[in-house]
Structure 1
Amino acid sequence: MNSADRFPETPTKFIETLDSESFKAFLHALSHSRYQEGQLLSFTLPIAPIDPLAALELHEKKSERFFWDHPGNNISISAAGKVKELKATGAGRFDEISKKTRELKKKISAYTSITHSMAGPLFLGGYSFGDHNISPIWKKFGAARFILPEWTLVKTGSRYLLTLIIEREEKAIHDIYTEIIERVTDFLNISGKAGSSCTRQNSDEQNILCNFQRVNEKSRWIDRVEKAKKHISEKDFEKIVLARTVEVKSKHPLNPTLLSYHLRQSYPECYNFIVQIDDDTSFIGATPERLASFENGVFKTEGLAGSASRGKSASEDAAIAQSLMMSEKDLEEHQFVVRAIDDSLSPYSYKVDHPNRPQIKKLNNVQHLFTPISASIKEGVQIHDLLKKLHPTPAVGGYPKTDSIPHIQEIEQIERGWYSAPVGWYNLNGCGEFAVAIRSALLHKNHAHLYAGCGIVSDSDPESEWDETLMKFEPMTNALNEL
């Protein structure tokens, strides 16, 4: 190795893996490989424990941030910055994202100091509910958008993995090594801040929330439910999900990481997520519904439909759960979901497994009928193939899908954007996880658009469905009131 290839001393034992012979051999091989335009370098190494949400809060850049957390699944991901962006629109958007990922994969050279399914580049983002997404408040998100971030921090079990993405350009190997050291050191400084400082996220002034629900909103909702039931009685479809939105204005700018902190504390059974597009605009939620997880050829999803409130005592809570398990209306609504998932997965799977009867999933303020579903997936099937087939499930769309979906926007008269659509992550190791983005809100400066929906079947009661939307707004309104 000549003098130009000498590596500077690493500043801490914490990154001593960057002094390893295997890492230097990787760089040496890279130096002798032909430079490819647009080539990206990925470096993954273990790092000391730090809450990924805290790392996100303390990172100086506020735009292009992502957070994913499910304490029950013992996984948490945060990421920031944007090296590459994958976008698509129209009916072929799932296939296009899959194609663009394969093309970009060819340009990535990856090094990892640890063998793990979560090591290496992650793509983070999601899809809109419809094939196109051009409404003013949602336009920045697009119909399908995933980023390859500058850095990703993954907590999986007791491991913490940091992945950095660097654009190779025509940099000398020495310069690449120096850049890695500088960026890891910057991240260690963030870790140090998390362990030694306590930063207040809002002022001592009381926050004031104003609800901008439209006049006659309840009567409008009842009219829409009756219109949907008329379609059902005329055999246009068997079930449709209708959503509504309310706008909330805060006295202070809304902080997505602080909101997510409150949601995580209150709803540890849920997928807590942030997709932040710029300094002012974020999509955030705490959703109980997994759409898809994929690892080692095993696919997991779930049916989640049929809802009831929680009780004020243990006996009342048990009685409500029992009533939900016996409710013909809710069981019918739930069965539509399970049947549709079975039909969607069958062409891609050797076998689909699930219990014959639903269970109860209890959250902080609501309980649902719930059926866990797993499937062994045929070789060559990609996660975007399954997302395309599953979305939207009858839990957020309707049944049959082709008959009900065209009527949703016509009846709802709102723009869903990414609400009730797939949000999540995937990597190049065949792993990925997506949730259905319900119990969510679009944030812009000091405004929040909150979304909630209900499944409408033949015997739905409009008043009860209205009350259900109020119950489903609670996670976000409670978190906003904590600010």
Structure 2
Amino acid sequence: MKKNPTIENFLMQLAEQLEQLQAGWHWPENTRLCSLSLKPALPLPTGMADSLDDFYYTAEPERQRFSLGVGCAFEYKASQPQAARGSRFDDLQRAFKTLQSSWARLELEAGLDSDAVYSPVAAFIGFAFAAEDRMAAPWQDWPNTLLTVPAVLLQRQGTQLRLHLSATAECLRSPVQRQQQIHLWLKQSRQLLLALKYEGSKFEAGSSVGESGVCLQQIRSEPENHHWLNLVEQARQLIHAGDLAKVVPARHLSFKASQNLPTVKILETLSHRFPACTQLGLRRGTSTLLAASPEKLLRLEDGQIDCDALGGTLPRSDDTIENRVLKQELMQNPRIRREHALVVEQMIQALRPLSNTLPSPKTPSIMALRQLQHLWTPIHAQARTGINLLDIAARLHPTPAVAGTPTAVAQHWIRENEPFARGWYSGAVGWMDAHGNGELSVVLRCALVQGRQIDVYAGAGIVADSEPAAELEETELKLASILGVLNAGVSEQADELQRHSPRATGS
């Protein structure tokens, strides 16, 4: 394994700290999980440089925030289908509260800057779009619902770094066990720190995986284009009949690459191309989930709830005049505004029982991304006392932006008509700390990579006067935005679609 003098010096100091501390470790009797936190004397990392066996990575480049976890100190997972919409969140809530009541946390050093805001140790949370999803291929490595506390977690928030080491109390009972755990922590910390790139390292702007010679061959399309267009027409008929207001049918494409795909390079390219999005990199078993999500399902911090309501999409043009026209249509088109209003109204209704204050929504703004632009309304609310991240997620997911409305009817339509299971696509992932604060992002603009195979997904919001061909073009744009990172030819296709696409709508 390569060595870095700065990292090795830090690990030597950490080993000394742990050795001095371990003889006097005393945890409350009911402790199940123990976490040690410290402020590491390291350069500021900017992202991943090398892959790891299993990891949980989220980043917000524009906010200079990221979290990278490896190993597993605690895990709750549910792979069996859940019959009731809320039951998996109920189970997840019980698992978290059991953990919360027996989670001992200790600062490893004194004298921290009292004015700095430090990220507390957190659990990673992720779940599939549908509670009843059996997680068949290509999602066989992924549970339906997951809560895990990494053994080693590094978090950056601005210029502040925090390193968290976690283990079960059972692993720290005896001196021999503590020595073994210290050795494991140091090994995992070294692997994590050596997998990062730090400030000052270079990244070639505009590069893509395709430029290194990877070619993609499509091997599956579910459903085929003509079938998907028929589904859109069927959905429109149901909407006209009054059974639905909106539904979001998705597409699934599979590709075979000419060589194994470099997942960390993909992450780096996503970060460069979509700095305003939340970057997701999650590896379990043989598969890696990569995404650049434009949509925050929710953030909860000290009682403040923040959500993104996205609905209504058009291409974004590099031509200033053309893009001004597109932006005007996005803001003024009655069909697009109506679709967006459905998302906002349902999210506000979902939050109402959990909130003390819920301001009326403002006029939507435009979220401009590399190739697409969305109507966006940020929603803010004050949570009632005792409400945590999971309480809110259970009420919000799935939003009309990824399912439709009414929710139960839209989910039933998707279950009966989509010829594939979505897995974690349009589900959510994020972090929650021991106080119940945290953040979840919707899994959009994503790719599931397994060796040479890549699976990508995209959907479009259908309302009464949607045009099937335009909605298909919208899904092509969304697919091209992620495929363009992988293949230079697809990237060129994305540019061509952007220049000539009809005025698509949907979320």
TM-score relative to the length of structure 2: 0.83
TM-superposition CA deviations, 1:397-448 (whole Å, max 9, x none)? 1111122221112222221111111111111133211111111122222111
TM-superposition CA deviations, 1:146-202 (whole Å, max 9, x none)? 221121110101011111113443544586368547744763586468569999999
1:268 match? 275
* Inter-partner Cα distance in structure 2 for 1:187 and 1:257: 18
Paired letter, 2:238:
H
2:448 match? 442
1:73 and 2:63 are equivalent in the alignment:
yes
* Inter-partner Cα distance in structure 1 for 2:222 and 2:8: 62
2:480 match? 474
* 1:46–1:159 Cα contact (<8 Å) kept: no
Within 5 A, what are the aligned runs for 1:23-34?
27=22, 30-31=25-26
* 2:211–2:487 Cα contact (<8 Å) kept: no
SS in 1 for 2:94: helix
2:98 match? 103
* Inter-partner Cα distance in structure 1 for 2:488 and 2:163: 31
Identify if the C-alpha distance between structure 1 residues 343 and 188 changes in structure 2 by more than 3 Å, giving closer, same or farther: same
2:213 match? 206
* Inter-partner Cα distance in structure 2 for 1:81 and 1:133: 26
Paired letter, 1:45:
K
SS in 2 for 1:304: strand
Within 5 A, what are the aligned runs for 1:221-260?
221-260=228-267
1:150 and 2:156 are equivalent in the alignment:
no
Count of residue pairs the alignment pairs up: 466
Gaps in structure 2 of 5+ consecutive residues: 1-6, 490-507
Paired letter, 1:176:
R
1:375 match? 381
Identify if the C-alpha distance between structure 1 residues 138 and 190 changes in structure 2 by more than 3 Å, giving closer, same or farther: closer
* 1:86–1:100 Cα contact (<8 Å) kept: yes
Aligned identity (percent) is 24
Identify if the C-alpha distance between structure 1 residues 397 and 149 changes in structure 2 by more than 3 Å, giving closer, same or farther: same
Q: Residue 37 of structure 2: which of 20, 38, 43 is its match?
A: 43
2:500 match? none
Aligned-pair distance for 1:475?
A: 2.1
TM-superposition CA deviations, 1:46-73 (whole Å, max 9, x none)? 341242632xx446xx332111011223
* Inter-partner Cα distance in structure 1 for 2:462 and 2:274: 26
TM-superposition CA deviations, 1:237-257 (whole Å, max 9, x none)? 111111111111111112322
1:312 and 2:303 are equivalent in the alignment:
no
TM-score relative to the length of structure 1: 0.87
Paired letter, 1:228:
A
Aligned-pair distance for 1:375?
A: 0.5
* 2:127–2:146 Cα contact (<8 Å) kept: yes
Identify if the C-alpha distance between structure 1 residues 101 and 217 changes in structure 2 by more than 3 Å, giving closer, same or farther: same
Identify if the C-alpha distance between structure 1 residues 203 and 176 changes in structure 2 by more than 3 Å, giving closer, same or farther: farther
SS in 1 for 2:42: coil
SS in 2 for 1:138: coil
Identify if the C-alpha distance between structure 1 residues 328 and 13 changes in structure 2 by more than 3 Å, giving closer, same or farther: closer
TM-superposition CA deviations, 1:221-243 (whole Å, max 9, x none)? 11010010011111111111111
1:340 and 2:340 are equivalent in the alignment:
no
Gaps in structure 1 of 5+ consecutive residues: 1-9
* Inter-partner Cα distance in structure 1 for 2:59 and 2:8: 31
* 1:119–1:163 Cα contact (<8 Å) kept: no
* Inter-partner Cα distance in structure 1 for 2:24 and 2:212: 58
1:361 and 2:367 are equivalent in the alignment:
yes
TM-superposition CA deviations, 1:343-380 (whole Å, max 9, x none)? 00000001113543111110000001000111000001
Aligned-pair distance for 1:206?
A: 2.0
* Inter-partner Cα distance in structure 2 for 1:15 and 1:471: 50
Identify if the C-alpha distance between structure 1 residues 58 and 180 changes in structure 2 by more than 3 Å, giving closer, same or farther: farther
* 2:152–2:189 Cα contact (<8 Å) kept: no
RMSD: 3.2
SS in 1 for 2:422: coil
2:128 match? 128
SS in 1 for 2:47: helix
